[in-house]
Amino acid sequence: MAVVTSSGPAPDLKLVIVGAGRMGGAVLQGALRAGVIEPQDVAIYHPNERRGAELSERHGVAYVSDDGLKRAAYVLLAVKPQSFMRVAPLVARRDACFVSLMAGVPARRIADRVGSRRVIRAMPNLGASLGVSATALAALPEALPEDLGFSRSLFSAVGSVYDVREEQFDAFTGMAGSGPAYAAVVAEALADGGVRVGLDRTLARDLARQVLLAAARLLETRHPSELKDEVSSAGGTAIAGVRTLERHRLRFALIDAVEEATKRAGELSREEP
């Protein structure tokens, strides 16, 4: 894909992605697949031209240089939080809307650095790469209704979107953002359990994944306690296992994990990137 070099006063690109890595790339791909944006209306920015060209090739959209950054109506900030200080002066514009998915960088801090108060903050999770993210959205009051509408359609392309007050972003991060890691630990431990009772490791890992997938699908139409009750017959195996989980305080461990992760998210967002 060619670099876009010309620049003009009016935005002629809908969106520029600043940081087309794992998460920025997933959102870009999701939005293109869902037709939320057309390839000619979006571009990738990267300070290194060779890298920009690689990312452009990978995603099938143009890349822009510093000049091109001024041409977009929307800027998706998807760099690492620690890169934001370096990137902010380059992207600063009064007349654009900034959509950030950077963890732990408050919307007001972004607004102060980029010079626009049309800032929307999003918190997706890794499920975005498969279109099953749970994404929180919060906007500064100065964001326009169409800014929120566009951001909602962008993240709806990679999963479900929830309007959440920004004060609750740390809680959302501690639960839904970090949640895939807790589920991965559960999957790994389940597989270890299978190996302990004699199943081959590969089979045990496959079964653990399938169990979590089945449970997630079943929970679409049931309360968690209903699902547990359905599986646990009188005097049977599941209730024996559930009793053991209660004895080892699995519930407490998960509640505590979410609380600790939320606290950590708060600590990180108080640190200046």
Specify the long-range contacts of residues 153-156, CB closer than 8 Å, at least 24 apart. Answer: 153/31, 153/34, 153/36, 154/15, 154/27, 154/31, 154/36, 154/37, 154/76, 154/99, 155/27, 155/122, 155/124, 155/128, 156/34, 156/36
Question: Nearer Cβ to ligand NAP, position 31 or 204?
Answer: 31
Q: Does 126 bind ligand NAP (CB under 6 A)?
A: yes
Q: How many CA atoms lie within 13 A of 152 on its CB side?
A: 12
Q: Does 63 bind ligand NAP (CB under 6 A)?
A: no
Binding segment for ligand NAP (CB under 6 A), chosen from 43-51, 150-158, 195-203, 226-234, is 43-51
Q: Does 87 bind ligand NAP (CB under 6 A)?
A: yes
Q: Does 62 bind ligand NAP (CB under 6 A)?
A: no
Among 29, 116, 125, 156, binds ligand NAP (CB under 6 A): 125
Map the footprint of ligand NAP across residues 167-186, applying CB under 6 A.
Answer: 177
Question: Nearer Cβ to ligand NAP, position 125 or 151?
Answer: 125
Q: Does 85 bind ligand NAP (CB under 6 A)?
A: no
CB of residue 42 to ligand NAP, shortest distance in Å: 14
Q: How far apart are CA 1 and CA 43, in angstroms?
A: 10
How many residues of this chain bind ligand NAP (CB under 6 A)?
A: 26
CB of residue 10 to ligand NAP, shortest distance in Å: 23
Cα 181 to Cα 98, 120, 157, 200, 258: the distances in Å are: 29, 26, 23, 24, 11
Contact predicate 63/39, CB 8 Å = no
Q: How far apart are CA 157 and CA 32, in angstroms?
A: 9
Among 22, 222, 243, 251, binds ligand NAP (CB under 6 A): 22
Question: Nearer Cβ to ligand NAP, position 37 or 122?
Answer: 122
**What is the C-alpha R_g of the chain?**
22
Question: Nearer Cβ to ligand NAP, position 23 or 204?
Answer: 23
Q: How far apart are CA 148 and CA 159, in angstroms?
A: 16
Q: Does 46 bind ligand NAP (CB under 6 A)?
A: yes
Q: Does 131 bind ligand NAP (CB under 6 A)?
A: no
117, two tokens: 């108060």
Residue 92: phi and psi, rounded to 5, are -55, 130
- Note the residues at the interface with ligand NAP (CB under 6 A): 18-24, 45-47, 51, 78-81, 83, 86-87, 101-103, 123-126, 177
